[in-house]
Every structure is written in C-alpha cells, then in structure tokens.
C-alpha cells in the first residue's frame, strides 16, 4: 500500500454557485440538521421495539447504566436487558453500518467512476456471504470454531485478495478491470454459497441463511461495536484528508495525473480500505442492499460533488436512513422481523425516485 | 451459473446412482378385493387398482409411519436418516431397505423416475421442486408413481392449518391404499389412546409456558401460534409463549424472546448437511438461554431437545407429544 502524504493544491472539485462563505454556512447548517436527525432517529430506535417499554423506563435504564443511581429503578430485569443489551447496541450498530455502507458507496462511485457502483460491486460481500453460509450450514466446529462474523470477515478478505490479484497488473489498478474482476468473483462466490445451500438438508437452515443474506441487525450486541467503529472512524478521517485527491480521481485519470496525484497508489489504497470496511460491516449485519447506492447520490444532490462535503453528509444521511429502516424492520411486523434489504428497497426506492424527479440530477449523478 | 451447478449435481448423482430398476412385468395381476380405492390428497384424487408393492419414501417420518403400519416389506427405496436416534425397533428394517438417496431429500429427477415406484410417500413438497432438479408430483403421477403428502403439508399456507387429526386421516388413508384398513384402525386407536392418556394426565394442571426455538442470536428462529409445533405444545399441556406470533417457523425479535418468560424451552435437533451431526443443539440451547436469561426456564435450565423429524406429520409426531408432556408435567406421569 503506498501512502502519499504530499499535499497537492487541487481544485476543490465541482461546486455550486454562491460565495464560499455562504456555501460554508449552508453546509454547516445542513450538517447540524443531519446530526439532529441522526440523534432523533436513534432516540426513536431506543424508545420503541417489539416489546413495549415506557419511555421513562427506557431512558431510565440507559441513564442508570451510564451513571448508576441517577434515577430510581422502576424497571424489571427483562426491560433492562431489552433496552441495554438489545436496543442500544442495535441502534448504535445501525448508525455505524448505515454510515459505513454509504461512505463506501460514495468512494467506490468515485473510484470506478460509475454511478451504479455500490459496496457489493467488488465481490467482497459475496465472499463474506460465502463464509457466513459455511458457518450456518456446516456449523462452527467444521471451520475451526470460527464465529459467523469471523467466517464472514475471512471470506471477505479472501475475496479482497482474489479481486486484487485479478485486477492489478504490475501495481496498476484500472477501474474497468476492477469492476470486471469484482463482478466475476461475486458470481463465483454466489455460485459457491448456492451450492452449499443446495446441499443443505434442512429447509430451516436455508431459511436462516436467506434471512442473513438479506441483512439484519437483530444480532447486535455490545461486543460487536468496537471493530466497525474503529474501522469506520479511521477510514472516514483518512478519506477526508484525501478529499482533494478523491475529487481529482473522480474528475478523471488525466486530470488526476496532471494534478500530480499518484493515481495507481491511490486506487489501491481506496480499494483495500473500502473492501476492509465492507468486510467488517457485512460480517456484522449481512448484506444490506441499496444504502450504499442511493445515499451518496442523495448527498451529492444536497451538496454537490466535492468529497470534503459529500463524505460527511453521506455518512450522516446513511446513519439516519439505516436507523429509520431498522426501526421499521422491527416494528412494522412485530414481533417478527423483516430483513433489512426488503425495507431499504421499499422505503428507499420511492424516496429516491422523488429525489430524482425533484431536481435536476444529471450533474450530480455523473459523480464528477 | 446456478443452473449449471444444478446440472452438474444432477449428473453426479445420476452417475453414482443405482442401476435403473427393472420394470414390473406382472402388472396384469387379478384385482384384489376391495380395490380400486381412491383417496384425496393435496387437492388431487389418487386411485389405486391394487396395493402398492414398490414404495419410495421421502423424509424419514414417512418411512416411520409405514413401518408403524407394518408395511416395511412394501418399501423398495428410502432416503438417508442420520440426524437423530431411530424409533425403537426401526433401525433393523431401515437397514434392510435400499438407500436411494444419501440425504433426507428424494434423489434427483432421473434417478427418482428410474425407481419405477408405484407409490411415493413424503412429508412436504421440498423434494418435488423442479427448480431443485427433482421430479415434480405431476411427472411422478404421469410415470405411475402417485405421490401422497403426509399432514396435508402441500403448501406453506396449508402447513399452518395442520392439526393432529390430519395424521389420523393419513393413517386411515394409508390403510385404505395398502388394503390394511384394520391395521390402520388399530394403530389409530392405539395412538388416540396415548393422546387421551396424556390429555387426562395434564388436565386440570396449570399449562406450562413453552418456547419452541431453533436457535439464533437475533432475530431468533422460533415457532409461532400456528402449525404442528404449536399443536404439539398445546396437546402436551403447554401454552406457546409465541401464540400471538403469526406463522409456524419464523424469525422473532430478541426483545420478544426476552420478554416471553417461558417456563420450559424446546430446541429443534437436526443435521444440516449430509447427516453430519453438528453440535447445533448445544449451541442453540446456549443462545436461547442467554437471550431468555431472566426467564424461569433459563434459571432452571429446563430444556428438551426435540428431533425435528418429530415436528413433521407422521407417527413419531404423535409419540413425541407424550415425551413433551412428560417433560412439562413430570408429576403427572409418576403413577
């Protein structure tokens, strides 16, 4: 992995009209509004669920855990378990996964210069799914005690390595080669897990696998949060530091080279970073479709194509969106749960179509 | 890609399958008294001119049911069963019957049609799905191998409507088809007697709150308020804590499981791949106990593994109700 720390003076991408100060103020207001939306969605997620826990109790439980003895304990151990062990980690994981998938989508759209790019383009999620299916069907003991998320992550690393080997030639990654290698390997891994699934004896096991493949945050626990959190925050900080080079890359290889960007090194770094992020996220939540495709476009419609703005807005939008999607997934049909990909599409598509019709989008959708 | 794999799998299975069975030649036999008979199953009318003599059974409960009727000598081919223990006395007849599939599913289309069966008995529609490379019910019908599905499990919707009475209907129908109505009547009377005994013993006792689960850390795979498992719990003197959840086998929120407060937990036991028993019952039990940590069931570690074959329509299903009743109400079985 090459790391180029030299600062280049690249133009700040395509930006909308207005004085820089006014644009800055508008952007700051937008970020604050989105942050409020994220907090509100999370508040909602902790407050409601399949089992009714009254608001004072729900937040009393959280407060009591943070500052023991702050409020009188008026709840049962079951309510405490539901709010503290299930709802809160689930809500926080929804934020991480939503933000992560959306940011990966934004970066990949710039990396391969294709508005259709999403986190599942590069075969990594299919590799993760393959690992997960192996554990669900063969059992953990067959795979040396790997947990579901451990096997999913191992599968994603395997896919990452294969895609990278196939896509690069003497240290150079080209977008078309990357897309083709990713898509081809995605088919390969789909074939492999379909094969394992078809060998499965029990329809019950197959049903469990199907649910996992469609994405779910239902298994969220505290211990699952640190890894995605660290990878996401680290990745986001790195990407923000690289926003100028991302803009240059999105504008085209010639532009980027003329601006002094080490295009090949940057592509490899971005590929490895996004693949790792997808691997970690898919391992915790399964393959949640659509977030990584539409949220970056929505963000560009709001703030233009400059990655310094696109990335934070994408992260916040993705977090709020997936939080609301997950609230719907576990309340619409409670106490049964819906797989997240169903809800992301059902709620996301109409919203996205409305967004597409609402404004002139051609400029934003063409990524750069 | 998927289609190619199915093809490869089908070819492999065909290649290593058995030699095609020779066609029956003595089909011009004199009609047996009482025949032809007709029975209704899955919305189709099946007509038999003589008792079937070359039967293929699907998932194991169908074989168990025929063995219970003393019809083991009519079975020409069966699937593999290695996911849990055999019913007493059934291992020996099982070993004598040729195995035509190494899994719990019927063999692929060509192998299946080559069996030349005159009757096919199974528990559900999974082994008749054209998409999976299997011979469909219609294709088998056309080949002279009429298919009977136990328990009326003809579609997911009909699985929800199952009642224990359906098994008695099946036993009577099988008695009719095989020309042994007396034997069927005797078995039905015996099984009804067992159920009545259970009912009498648990009558007047407080129903035990039962969670029937198949593991999972979230959402949890569990059995809702419709279908065979729900019926078993009720018949055994229990009350399903997920009675309000629509569906048979479904995904339920961890919150609901935590709040359900069961007194006892049933965990499904089965193998997922080629009969290799994975330590899933222990893992599933651990998951369920962790999520329902604050429940009386978890505090008392009151868990019963239930072979999933007993959660399918058939003979074993009715036997298992006694086992579950004993587990839920041990005091009722001391005398």
Query: Considering only the top CATH level, what class is A31-352?
Result: mainly alpha
Q: What is the pLDDT of residue A119?
A: 83
Tell me the DSSP string of B164-180: THHHHHHHHHHHHHTT-
Tokens 């020996």 identify what position?
B92
User: Which among A82, A195, A204 has CB closest to B258?
Assistant: A82
Q: Quick check: B213 pLDDT over 80?
A: yes
Least confident of A125-139, A239-253, B102-116, B269-283: B269-283
- pLDDT digit string, tens, across residues A195-209: 888 777 677 777 778
Are both B245 and B149 inside the same structural domain?
A: no
Question: Which residue of chain A is at minimal alpha-carbon distance from B132?
Answer: A198
Shortest CA gap A90–chain B (Å): 10
Chain A contact present for B274, CB below 8 A: yes
Q: pLDDT band at B139, cuts 50/70/90?
A: very high
- What is the C-alpha to C-alpha distance for residues A35 and B189, in angstroms, rounded to an integer? 69
Q: Quick check: A2 pLDDT over 50?
A: no
The answer to whether the CB atoms of A138 and B253 lie below 8 A apart is no
User: Percent of chain B scored above 70 by pLDDT?
Assistant: 88
| Number of residues that make up chain B | 335
ipTM of the prediction greater than 0.85, yes or no: no
Please state the domain count of chain B: 2
Least confident of A39-43, A326-330, B23-27, B126-130: B23-27
Q: Quick check: B242 pLDDT over 80?
A: yes
Q: What is the pLDDT of residue A116?
A: 82
Are both B245 and B218 inside the same structural domain?
A: yes
Are both B145 and B48 inside the same structural domain?
A: yes
The answer to whether the CB atoms of B278 and A208 lie below 8 A apart is no
The answer to whether the CB atoms of A336 and B253 lie below 8 A apart is yes
Which of B142, B157, B186 corresponds to the end of one domain?
B186
Are both B180 and B214 inside the same structural domain?
A: no
Residue of B137, B160, B181, B146 lying closest to B52 (CA atoms): B146
Chain A contact present for B192, CB below 8 A: no
- What is the C-alpha to C-alpha distance for residues B270 and B261, in angstroms, rounded to an integer? 25
Are both B160 and B43 inside the same structural domain?
A: yes
Phi–psi pair at A291, nearest 5 degrees: -60, -50
Strand partners, B239: B209
Q: What is the pLDDT of residue A137?
A: 80
Q: pLDDT band at B191, cuts 50/70/90?
A: very high
Least confident of B18-22, B239-243, B288-292: B18-22
**Do A124 and A200 contact (CB within 8 A), yes or no?**
no
B30 inside domain: no
Mean pLDDT of chain A: 85
Chain A contact present for B253, CB below 8 A: yes
Contacts with A, B 4-63, CB within 8 Å: 5-6, 9
B6 inside domain: no
| Angle, in degrees to the nearest 10, between helices A291-303 and A307-331 | 130
Q: What is the pLDDT of residue A11?
A: 41
Alpha-carbon distance values, B164 to A181, A245, B152 (Å): 54, 69, 11
| pTM as predicted | 0.81
The answer to whether the CB atoms of B255 and A87 lie below 8 A apart is yes
Higher pLDDT, A175 or B112: B112
Are both B173 and B215 inside the same structural domain?
A: no
Phi–psi pair at B84, nearest 5 degrees: -155, -175
Residue of A292, A283, A265, A254 lying closest to A107 (CA atoms): A292
Give domain limits for chain A: 31-352
Q: What is the pLDDT of residue B197?
A: 96
Q: How many other β-carbons are positioned within 10 Å of the β-carbon of residue A147?
A: 13
Q: pLDDT band at A150, cuts 50/70/90?
A: confident
- What is the C-alpha to C-alpha distance for residues B212 and A202, in angstroms, rounded to an integer? 17
Tell me the DSSP string of A177-234: HHHHHHHHHHHHHHHHHHHHHHHBS-HHHHHHHHHHHT---TT--GGGSHHHHHHHHH
Chain B contact present for A68, CB below 8 A: no
B247 inside domain: yes
Q: What is the pLDDT of residue B2?
A: 41
B28 inside domain: no
Q: pLDDT band at B46, cuts 50/70/90?
A: very high
Are both B222 and B319 inside the same structural domain?
A: yes
The CATH number of the domain where B164 resides is what? 3.40.50.1980
B195 inside domain: no
**Do A74 and A60 contact (CB within 8 A), yes or no?**
yes
Q: pLDDT band at A358, cuts 50/70/90?
A: low
Are both B129 and B248 inside the same structural domain?
A: no
B13 inside domain: no
Are both B86 and B48 inside the same structural domain?
A: yes
The answer to whether the CB atoms of A336 and B250 lie below 8 A apart is yes
- pLDDT digit string, tens, across residues A313-327: 999 999 999 999 999
- pLDDT digit string, tens, across residues A28-47: 999 999 999 999 999 999 99
Average pLDDT of A133-151? 75
Are both B134 and B229 inside the same structural domain?
A: no
B99 inside domain: yes
Average pLDDT of A187-199? 87
**Do A51 and B259 contact (CB within 8 A), yes or no?**
yes
B148 inside domain: yes
Contacts with B, A 297-326, CB within 8 Å: none
Cis, peptide link before residue A335, omega less than 30° from 0: yes
Q: Look at phi and psi of residue A165 and say left if phi exceeds 0, alpha if psi is from -120 to 50, else beta.
A: alpha
Alpha-carbon distance values, A227 to A94, A97, A224, A232, B303 (Å): 14, 11, 7, 8, 34
Q: How many other β-carbons are positioned within 10 Å of the β-carbon of residue A18?
A: 11
Shortest CA gap B132–chain A (Å): 8
Are both B231 and B165 inside the same structural domain?
A: no
Range of the domain at B112: 37-186
Which of B186, B218, B244 corresponds to the end of one domain?
B186
User: CA dihedral in degrees (A37, A38, A42, A44; nearest 10)?
Assistant: 10
Q: Quick check: A4 pLDDT over 60?
A: no
Are both B97 and B165 inside the same structural domain?
A: yes
């Amino acid at each position: 992995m090459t790391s180029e720390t030299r600062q280049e003076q690249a133009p700040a991408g395509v930006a909308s009209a207005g004085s820089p100060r006014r644009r800055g103020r508008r952007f700051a207001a937008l970020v604050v509004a989105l942050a409020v939306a994220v907090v509100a969605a999370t508040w909602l997620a902790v407050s409601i669920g399949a089992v009714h826990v009254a608001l004072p109790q729900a937040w009393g439980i959280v407060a009591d855990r943070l500052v023991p003895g702050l409020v009188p304990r008026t709840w049962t151990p079951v309510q405490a378990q539901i709010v503290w062990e299930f709802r809160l980690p689930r809500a926080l994981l929804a934020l991480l996964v939503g933000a992560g998938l959306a940011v990966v989508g934004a970066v990949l759209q710039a990396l391969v210069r294709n508005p259709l790019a999403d986190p599942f383009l590069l075969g990594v999620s299919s590799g993760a799914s393959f690992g997960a299916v192996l554990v669900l069907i063969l059992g953990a003991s067959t795979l040396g005690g790997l947990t579901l998320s451990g096997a999913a992550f191992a599968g994603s690393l395997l896919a990452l390595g294969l895609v990278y080997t196939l896509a690069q030639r003497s240290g150079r990654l080209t977008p078309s080669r990357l897309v083709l290698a990713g898509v081809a390997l995605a088919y390969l891994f789909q074939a492999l897990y379909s094969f394992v699934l078809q060998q499965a004896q029990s329809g019950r096991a197959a049903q469990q696998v199907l649910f996992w493949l469609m994405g779910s945050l239902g298994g969220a626990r505290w211990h699952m949060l640190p890894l995605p959190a660290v990878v996401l925050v680290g990745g986001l900080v790195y990407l923000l530091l690289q926003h100028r080079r991302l803009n240059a890359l999105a504008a085209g290889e010639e532009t980027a080279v003329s601006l002094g960007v080490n295009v090949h090194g940057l592509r490899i770094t971005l590929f490895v970073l996004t693949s790792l992020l997808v691997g970690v996220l898919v391992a915790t939540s399964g393959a949640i479709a659509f977030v990584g495709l539409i949220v970056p476009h929505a963000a560009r419609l709001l703030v233009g194509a400059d990655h310094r703005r696109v990335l934070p807005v994408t992260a916040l939008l993705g977090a709020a969106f997936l939080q609301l999607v997950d609230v719907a997934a576990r309340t619409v049909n409670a106490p049964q749960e819906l797989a997240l990909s169903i809800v992301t599409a059902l709620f996301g598509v109409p919203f996205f179509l409305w967004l597409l019709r609402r404004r002139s989008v051609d400029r934003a959708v063409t990524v750069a | 890609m998927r289609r190619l794999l199915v093809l490869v799998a089908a070819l492999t299975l065909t290649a290593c399958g058995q030699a095609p069975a020779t066609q029956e030649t003595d089909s011009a036999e004199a009609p047996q008294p009482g025949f032809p008979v007709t029975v209704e199953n899955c919305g189709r009318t099946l007509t038999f001119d003589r008792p079937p003599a070359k039967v293929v059974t699907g998932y194991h409960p169908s074989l168990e049911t025929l063995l219970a009727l003393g019809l083991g000598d009519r079975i020409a081919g069966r699937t593999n069963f290695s996911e849990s223990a055999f019913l007493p006395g059934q291992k020996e007849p099982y070993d004598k019957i040729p195995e035509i599939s190494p899994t719990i599913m019927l063999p692929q289309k060509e192998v299946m049609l080559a069996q030349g069966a005159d009757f096919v008995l199974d528990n559900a529609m999974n082994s008749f799905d054209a998409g999976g490379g299997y011979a469909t019910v219609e294709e088998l019908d056309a080949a002279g191998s009429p298919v009977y599905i136990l328990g009326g499990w003809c579609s997911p919707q009909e699985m929800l409507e199952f009642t224990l009475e359906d098994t008695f209907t099946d036993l009577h129908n099988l008695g009719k088809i095989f020309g042994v109505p007396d034997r069927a009547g005797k078995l039905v009377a015996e099984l009804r007697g067992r159920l009545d005994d259970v009912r009498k013993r648990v009558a007047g006792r407080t129903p035990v709150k039962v969670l029937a689960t198949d593991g999972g850390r979230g959402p949890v795979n569990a059995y809702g308020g419709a279908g065979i498992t729900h019926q078993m719990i009720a018949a055994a003197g229990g009350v399903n804590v997920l009675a309000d959840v629509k569906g048979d086998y479904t995904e339920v929120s961890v919150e609901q499981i935590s709040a359900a407060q069961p007194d006892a937990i049933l965990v499904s036991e089965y193998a997922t791949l080629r009969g290799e028993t994975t330590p899933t019952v222990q893992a599933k039990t651990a998951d369920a106990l962790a999520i329902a940590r604050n429940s009386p069931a978890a505090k008392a570690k009151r868990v019963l593994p239930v072979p999933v074959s007993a959660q399918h329509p058939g003979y074993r299903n009715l036997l298992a109700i006694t086992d579950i009743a004993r587990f839920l109400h041990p005091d009722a079985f001391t005398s």
